[in-house]
């Protein structure tokens, strides 16, 4: 939306539990609201819960986002705590000043930003493949499975007339077998079916 510098907007867009206080206060805002959302997500990844949302989004949650301070466990890394507090600052001006030099924060000392920007960075760890518990022996899955190609019916082949390309599998045209017409119901069959239905009802009455 070209929100740069001192430009601000006032549209209420986003997911409620990730919105910044100034949105709920219906104040014009800038990109500082995105940094607040980033702070909420980092809090969730580090602590395992939302800093303000307690299971039911209502006015209480909105007031907590606007006024309350998040809870921090005592054993939380001080640098990580400082990052979260800076991103969850209630003041958008203070929040914007904090993120202006966020790359120089001690928490990101080991981050090579150039490698990240050029897609050369590797994750600090990779999850190992999980073991699969099964009662039967599994056959190895082939790396390539040839798809089953059914012949195209003659009436369907006419749909491709004039195309500059046709698959080799389409050159062999085999007409599809005509569907078998069901037998017509005779008067005797109708009477017999009606008799059976009546007989079943009589048996239930007994």
Better-predicted residue by pLDDT, 181 or 84: 84
Better-predicted residue by pLDDT, 116 or 6: 116
List pLDDT tens digits, range 113-159.
999 888 888 887 777 777 666 555 556 655 555 555 556 666 666 66
- Domains of the chain, start order: 16-117 (1.10.510.10), 148-178 (no CATH)
Whether this model's pTM surpasses 0.75: no
List pLDDT tens digits, range 169-198.
555 444 555 555 555 667 777 777 777 788
DSSP for the chain reads ----TT--B----S-GGG--HHHHTT--B-THHHHHHHHHHHHHHHHSS-SS--SS-SHHHHHHHHHPPPP--TTS-HHHHHHHHHHT-S-HHHHHHHHTTGGGSGGGTT--HHHHHTT----S--PPPPP---SSPPPPPPS--PPP-PPPPHHHHGGGTT-S---GGGSS--PPPPPPPPPPPPHHHHHHHHHHHHHHHHHHH-
């Amino acid at each position: 939306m070209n929100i740069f510098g001192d430009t601000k907007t006032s549209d209420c867009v986003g997911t409620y539990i990730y919105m910044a206080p100034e949105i709920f206060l219906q104040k014009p805002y800038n990109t500082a609201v995105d940094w607040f959302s980033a702070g909420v997500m980092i809090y969730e990844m580090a602590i395992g819960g939302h800093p303000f949302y307690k299971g039911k989004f209502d006015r209480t949650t909105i007031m907590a986002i606007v006024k309350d301070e998040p809870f921090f466990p005592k054993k939380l890394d001080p640098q990580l705590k400082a990052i979260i507090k800076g991103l969850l600052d209630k003041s958008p001006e203070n929040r914007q000043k904090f993120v202006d030099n966020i790359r120089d924060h001690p928490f990101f000392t080991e981050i090579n930003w150039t490698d990240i920007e050029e897609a050369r960075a590797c994750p600090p760890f990779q999850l190992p493949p999980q073991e699969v518990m099964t009662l039967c022996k599994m056959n190895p899955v082939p790396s390539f499975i040839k798809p089953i190609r059914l012949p195209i019916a003659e009436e369907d082949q006419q749909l491709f007339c004039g195309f500059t390309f046709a698959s080799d599998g389409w050159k062999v045209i085999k007409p599809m077998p005509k569907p078998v017409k069901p037998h017509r119901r005779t008067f005797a069959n109708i009477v017999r079916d009606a008799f059976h239905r009546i007989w079943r009802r009589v048996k239930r009455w007994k």
